[in-house]
Structure 1
Amino acid sequence: MTLTMAMPKGRIFEEAVQLLRSAGYDLPSSFEQSRKLIIDVPNESLRFILAKPMDVPTYVEHGVADVGVAGKDVMLEEKRDVHEVLDLNISACHLAVAALPTYQRGELNPKVASKYPNVASQFFKEQGEQVEIIKLNGSIELAPIMGLAGRIVDIVSTGQTLKENGLVELEQIRQITSRFIVNPASYRMRAGEIHDMVERLAAVIEGDGSEDH
């Protein structure tokens, strides 16, 4: 019986595929280059659904996919009813607050732009700061430049995008890595297959970690 796995397009997908290969899964060499949204791997009884990162937990929650890979940023924002069973330690980055270098704390612009309105709202609430959150779906760096918002909350990897757009990081919210998530019903009904996958992935992750010490 085929196990369906939801994966985000882009960097996480590429790193997750390499992790699966390291765990012994025989995936086609042209796998990452495929433009298909559904990819079947019959020899491994696996089916992959490629979706936007924010949509992966939704597919898993509703049982369209049994398991999936999602960034912790997405998990924090979406709060879907799924089991988060393993930190894959891939696609490391962090959520941060950023602004133009001229930004002064306490200035009159209380607006914050973000793809993560729930995360941003919770963060500023914990800081005891009242802000207005503006949800954007992309190119968040434009908001301070065009005067839409004084600050942004976004994912930062190398910091190069911020730098190229004249922004600076003000504070870090939390570290982010990708997680292996499971549909609750699938976790009960297909426990053997899912535990096997988790154990194989965990063995690779722990092996990589031991080499660093």
Structure 2
Amino acid sequence: MTDPIIIAVPKGRILEEAVPLLMRAGIVPEAAFSDESSRALRFHTQTPGIDLIRVRAFDVATFVAHGAAQLGIVGSDVLAEFDYSELYAPVDLGIGHCRLSVAEPAQMAAGDDPRGWSHIRIATKYPHVTAQHFEARGVQAECVKLNGAMELAPLLGLAPRIVDLVSSGRTLKENGLVEVEVIAEVSSRLIVNRAAFKTRAEIVPLVERFRRAVEMRDAA
């Protein structure tokens, strides 16, 4: 018996937009998937041979890169941070739109010009992307790795600036911060394990189902 195809989907913000797309692609999760009180992490679907796992966004890429899942849905920010050679990202799903930005206290920003930076200290969960971005500009970035509560870093003196995902900007504003530079526009992609793509024939038509689902949604 062939092992099921496992699709890794992210908890949180992207999941809400991903579910209608999964259903357009003919992948309907079992009822427990929508039960917010459920502690389960793996779920069956109405399609025999396809299961879903629900993990942290940053872990989606790791599960797929190492072959524990064959497909996944993840933001382009995560792909850029990890840069796994084992991943193929054939479809931009057009969901999870936001941007990866540099922010600092509004008071600091009033007299600051990013073009004049030479060495900066930044709190972020994207140290690779951040360092790479500033290195290309000849700026030395000292990155302090945090996994959350980024907005506290300037307030408590950990680092004067942060690099984080920004959608509406409300969280920044409520913590006295403003965007001063956009590093990248972000959207979510369908990712596939390269080895599985070559060896499991059922993955190619599955990718096409996602591509058609995106086209149908955009044409609606």
CA distance in 2, matches of 1:57, 1:21: 22
- Residue 133 of structure 1 corresponds to 143
Using the TM superposition, give the Cα deviation of residue 62 of structure 1 relative to its aligned residue in structure 2, in angstroms.
1.2
Which structure 2 residue ranges, 5 or more long, are not aligned? none
- Residue 103 of structure 2 corresponds to 98
Using the TM superposition, give the Cα deviation of residue 25 of structure 1 relative to its aligned residue in structure 2, in angstroms.
2.4
- Distance change (3 Å), C-alpha of 1:186 and 1:101: same
Contact 1:109/1:150 (8 A) holds in 2: no
**Alignment equivalent of 1:178, drawn from 179, 188, 191:** 188
2:94 is equivalent to residue 89 of structure 1? yes
**Which letter maps to 2:188?**
S
Q: Write out per-residue CA displacement over residues 101-155 of structure 1, whole angstroms, 9 at most, x where no aligned residue.
A: 1222458982111010001101111122122111111100111111211211000
- Distance change (3 Å), C-alpha of 1:108 and 1:26: closer
Identity of aligned residues (%): 44
- Residue 204 of structure 2 corresponds to 195
- Residue 206 of structure 1 corresponds to 215
- Residue 150 of structure 1 corresponds to 160
* Greater mean deviation of Cα atoms: 60-69 or 106-115: 106-115
- Distance change (3 Å), C-alpha of 1:107 and 1:74: closer
Map 1:39-54 onto structure 2 (within 5 A).
39-41=43-45, 43-54=47-58
2:73 is equivalent to residue 69 of structure 1? yes
Q: What is the DSSP-based 3-state SS (H/G/I as helix, E as strand, rest coil) of the residue aligned with 1:91?
A: coil
Using the TM superposition, give the Cα deviation of residue 58 of structure 1 relative to its aligned residue in structure 2, in angstroms.
1.1
CA distance in 2, matches of 1:110, 1:62: 34
Using the TM superposition, give the Cα deviation of residue 40 of structure 1 relative to its aligned residue in structure 2, in angstroms.
2.0
2:120 is equivalent to residue 110 of structure 1? yes
- Distance change (3 Å), C-alpha of 1:43 and 1:199: closer
Using the TM superposition, give the Cα deviation of residue 13 of structure 1 relative to its aligned residue in structure 2, in angstroms.
2.1
Contact 1:96/1:171 (8 A) holds in 2: yes
Q: Write out per-residue CA displacement over residues 29-69 of structure 1, whole angstroms, 9 at most, x where no aligned residue.
A: 44232431111226432111221111111111111111111
- Residue 36 of structure 1 corresponds to 40
Which structure 1 residue ranges, 5 or more long, are not aligned? none
RMSD over aligned Cα atoms: 1.8
Contact 1:88/1:177 (8 A) holds in 2: yes
CA distance in 2, matches of 1:9, 1:155: 16
Using the TM superposition, give the Cα deviation of residue 91 of structure 1 relative to its aligned residue in structure 2, in angstroms.
0.8
CA distance in 2, matches of 1:144, 1:184: 40
TM-score after normalising by structure 2: 0.88
**Which letter maps to 1:138?**
G
CA distance in 2, matches of 1:43, 1:84: 23
CA distance in 2, matches of 1:199, 1:47: 18
2:19 is equivalent to residue 9 of structure 1? no
Contact 1:14/1:32 (8 A) holds in 2: no
Q: What is the DSSP-based 3-state SS (H/G/I as helix, E as strand, rest coil) of the residue aligned with 1:59?
A: helix
CA distance in 1, matches of 2:204, 2:47: 19
CA distance in 1, matches of 2:165, 2:68: 27
